[in-house]
Amino acid sequence: MRNLIGLTSAIAIGMWAADAEAAVKVNFVNPDHYIDAGAYRGKDRARSLEEIERTFQKLADRYLAADQTLTIDVLDVDLAGRLEPWHFNSYDVRYMRDITWPTMKLRYELDSANAPPLRGEETLSDPGYLDFPSTHISGQTLPYEKAMLERWFRARLVDRRPPRS
């Protein structure tokens, strides 16, 4: 009997964990045509896109209810900063300038049992990305992009504020 209860509990927990991870689906549409998703086309881009996907997953886990399903199509990515290969020994350093803010183009759909679906397509950008000192010293990967995505996620999908015109 104890084994049956333990097995039932394990199955329920496994189903709950699978549901929690299924709350968000991120699709990268034509990533070869993105403006900039990493220093070079190979591993850097893959790491950047994986980090963006993980960020959406964490935001969904934190802010969305169990009955909500989010689908995000990432249409374009332009990371903060630029590579300036003409600098000696800094071929993989991103130089942050006030004109090189992060930008992403997204199409999204949030389905919920308790509310009408929320759909849209937006270009997110953060021209003031250098104005947040805590982001500079965070030590995390893609800190400017993550901050921009969290602000957008909370405004659009949690608070359901419409985009600015």
pLDDT for 85: 61
- Residue 77: which domain range? 23-158
Q: Please indicate, yes or no, if residue 55 is contained in any of the structural domains.
A: yes
Q: Please indicate, yes or no, if residue 48 is contained in any of the structural domains.
A: yes
Q: Please indicate, yes or no, if residue 145 is contained in any of the structural domains.
A: yes
Q: Please indicate, yes or no, if residue 33 is contained in any of the structural domains.
A: yes
In angstroms, the CA 114 to CA 117 distance is 9
How many domains is the chain built from? 1
Q: Please indicate, yes or no, if residue 10 is contained in any of the structural domains.
A: no
Average pLDDT score, the chain: 80
Q: Please indicate, yes or no, if residue 127 is contained in any of the structural domains.
A: yes
Q: Please indicate, yes or no, if residue 149 is contained in any of the structural domains.
A: yes
In angstroms, the CA 138 to CA 134 distance is 6
Q: What is the pTM of this model?
A: 0.77
Element holding 50 (H helix, E strand): helix 43-63
Residue range 41-94, pLDDT digits in tens: 567 788 899 999 999 999 999 999 999 999 999 999 998 877 666 656 655 667
Q: Please indicate, yes or no, if residue 89 is contained in any of the structural domains.
A: yes
